[in-house]
Amino acid sequence: MALFCAGISCAQDKQDPPEVVSKQTDAKEIISNFFRGKARQDTSGNVKTHSNFSTLPSAGYNPSIGFVIGVTSTGGHTFGNPKTTTFSVVNANAYISTKGLMTFEAKNNIFTNDDLYNLQGGIQAGKTVALDYGAGTGHMAQGDGSFSFNNLPLDNNPDVFPIKFSYLKITERIYRKLFEHVYAGAGVIFNNYSNIDDERQMGPRPDTHNFRYSRMNHFPTSGYSANGLLFNMEYNSRDHLNQPHTGMYADVVLRLNERWLGSEHKSVQIKTELRKYWTLSKKSPEHLIAFWYWGCYLLNGTLPYLELPGTGSDAANRIGRAYTIGRFKGPSFAYSEAEYRFPLCNSQLFGGVLFANAETASNTRNIKVGEFIEPGAGVGLRILFNKYSRSNLCIDYGMGNYGSKGIFLGLNEVF
């Protein structure tokens, strides 16, 4: 589950020129001026140095989870020559619910001087509930059409099985720059799931998707691990991490889950991602077209049920606006999205987006990737929260298949 959440990915992040930033207005500046009346100054008479850190509260509700309150924070620093070193970013978020659920996540994307090395990873731990709709696309769930807020349906769905579990996830990758825009890397991933509880399973009958899948594929029903090695190749020419205007990002990851690392079963996955940005105006680069493709494919072996890729499986849990997290998933999953982004005022305080997306997933029987496509579309408002780090507050309304609809919130652009 995610509330406000900011993703981590590699970027050629450069600071905007002072003359550009000075013409912009952000929410932090408005709030500061409201309470202080004017910008603070230091003893030399200069305006106080700006901060690259942003923090926002979050909230949500679902009958299976209860009322949720949380906080998310994003910030960064340049660890080297600013002219040749990419801006490093650290993100963190945490939440707690009235039903005793909680989680904490911290993610890093650190660049050394001259971008010679890049470290990407993080840690996630907590106790949460996943709403399980089953694997594959092309099937309606009874009760579909209820309104959702912040990735959670406001009503319980009779065909959705809540899975309560505890988890600890640790991953770290190190990349080395080979030449301009191209990196190669390797790393490790350790994902452990414990205290798995299918809350609607009654007696020995395997009614729930998770229980049935685990038994069929010889996974323990109470807990398991998916630990492996990662091998990566990456191309990146984007101009910024939080709000790109131009450039391209492409990443290919080979993941090998191994028994000798603690996994219940061996498996081989390949994850591919592409993000491309075309600015439509030199005068106003915020006016642009953006495209995103994300795919994860099982090449060999079997995956634990809670490891199946699907809606919300990206680092920031933003895949699939129009649907709740976990609405579609499978051993293999593919997603694509296009956005039209545009400013609404000269100060860049407000902006808008129009988006359309599509996702498809396989299941363990006869449904293949591409056989059924689940579309989504919507509109969104952007509020510039921190102009120095191009951080946006995102408020989106999305609609999808089977009457799915809802409001989706986030800090920083979806991709």
At 59-83, the pLDDT tens digits run 777 677 788 888 888 777 888 888 8
Run of H or E residues at 31: helix 27-36
The answer to whether the beta carbons of residues 375 and 336 sit under 8 Å apart is no
Q: Which of 7-11, 119-123, 190-194, 395-399 has the lowest mean pLDDT?
A: 7-11
**Rounded CA Rg of the chain:** 21
Q: How far apart, in Å, do the first and last CA atoms of the chain sit?
A: 18
Mean pLDDT within 251-261: 96
In this prediction, residue 262 carries a pLDDT of 95
* Among candidate residues 169, 61, 43, 37, the one with its CA nearest the CA of residue 106: 169
* Number of residues in the chain: 415
In the structure, what pLDDT confidence band is assigned to residue 219 with cuts at 50, 70 and 90?
very high
Run of H or E residues at 209: helix 209-216
**Residue with the two structure tokens 């006869």:** 366
User: How far apart (Å, rounded) are the C-alpha atoms in residues 1 and 326?
Assistant: 9
Give 20's DSSP letter.
Answer: H
pLDDT digits (tens, 9 = 90+) for 15-63: 555 555 556 666 656 666 655 655 444 444 444 556 677 777 877 776 7
- Is the pLDDT at 6 greater than 50, yes or no? no
In this prediction, residue 43 carries a pLDDT of 45
Average pLDDT, the chain: 84
The answer to whether the beta carbons of residues 275 and 249 sit under 8 Å apart is yes
pLDDT digits (tens, 9 = 90+) for 114-126: 888 989 999 999 9
User: How far apart (Å, rounded) are the C-alpha atoms in residues 410 and 415?
Assistant: 11
Chain CA centroid to CA 168, Å: 17
Chain CA centroid to CA 157, Å: 24
In this prediction, residue 151 carries a pLDDT of 72
In this prediction, residue 293 carries a pLDDT of 98
- Is the pLDDT at 7 greater than 50, yes or no? no
User: How far apart (Å, rounded) are the C-alpha atoms in residues 86 and 10?
Assistant: 9
Strands 405-411 and 147-149 come out as parallel
Mean pLDDT within 248-260: 96
- Is the pLDDT at 288 greater than 50, yes or no? yes
Question: Between these two residues, 20 and 286, which has the higher pLDDT value?
Answer: 286
Mean pLDDT within 375-396: 89
pTM summary value? 0.82
In this prediction, residue 18 carries a pLDDT of 55
**Residue with the two structure tokens 């680092």:** 315
Residues 6+ apart with CB under 8 A from 126: 101, 102, 103, 104, 166, 167
CA triplet 392, 89, 272: central angle to 5 degrees? Answer: 85
The answer to whether the beta carbons of residues 208 and 247 sit under 8 Å apart is no
With a pLDDT cut of 70, the percent of the chain lying above it is 84
Mean pLDDT within 389-393: 82
pLDDT digits (tens, 9 = 90+) for 305-334: 999 999 999 888 899 999 988 899 999 999
351: three-class secondary structure by DSSP = strand
Mean pLDDT within 248-272: 96
pLDDT digits (tens, 9 = 90+) for 347-360: 888 999 999 999 99
In this prediction, residue 162 carries a pLDDT of 87
pLDDT digits (tens, 9 = 90+) for 135-183: 989 888 766 777 787 777 777 677 788 899 999 999 999 999 999 889 9
Domains of the chain: 18-411 (2.40.160.50)
